[in-house]
Amino acid sequence: MLIKALRTGLGQLIVFGDALTRPRPQRRSAQGQAAVVKEASNLSLYQFHACPFCVKTRRALHRLNVPVTLHDAKNDAVQRERLRTEGGKIKVPCLHIQEHGQSRWLYESNEIIAYLEQRFGGIA
């Protein structure tokens, strides 16, 4: 019981720290941002709200100004099951990418951030 309370408190502290220190979003031309929004419509992030690696990934999304649908894989049983059955495992963060009729599940925060940087970082 004590461990759960400590973990919950620490998670809330991480979320609070993120809110205080969130980076500024990347500025783009209207056309550039419209292109990002269109491309990002095929992405969704499965995450736990207070997971440090998920916070890191959400910070990168915010910094790159990429609007992505977020799914709570901890409290939403339907999304958790979809992550397990389609993604293969319940592990967060996980970026679901749908392109050219294909579905891809990308795990690991560093790999997700590298993918986002490569795909959206150069759009002006």
Q: What is the pLDDT of residues 6-16, one digit of tens each?
A: 777 777 887 77
74 phi/psi in degrees, rounded to 5: -95, -45
Distance CA 124, CA 120 (A): 9
The set of residues, in sequence order, having a beta carbon less than 8 Å from that of 47 and lying 6+ positions away, is 54, 57, 58, 70, 71, 72, 73, 92, 93, 94
Contact 94, 106 (CB under 8 A): yes
Q: Which residue numbers in the chain have pLDDT < 50?
A: none
- What is the pLDDT, as a whole number, of residue 108? 96
Instruction: Give the chain's domains with CATH numbers.
Output: 29-120 (3.40.30.10)
Residue whose pair of structure tokens reads 């461990």 in the numeric block:
3
User: Could you give the C-alpha distances from 17 to 11, 13, 42, 110, in angstroms and in order?
Assistant: 10, 6, 29, 20
**Number of neighbours of residue 47 by Cβ within 10 angstroms:** 25
Contact 72, 79 (CB under 8 A): yes
- What is the pLDDT, as a whole number, of residue 12? 81
Contact 94, 45 (CB under 8 A): yes
pTM confidence score: 0.88
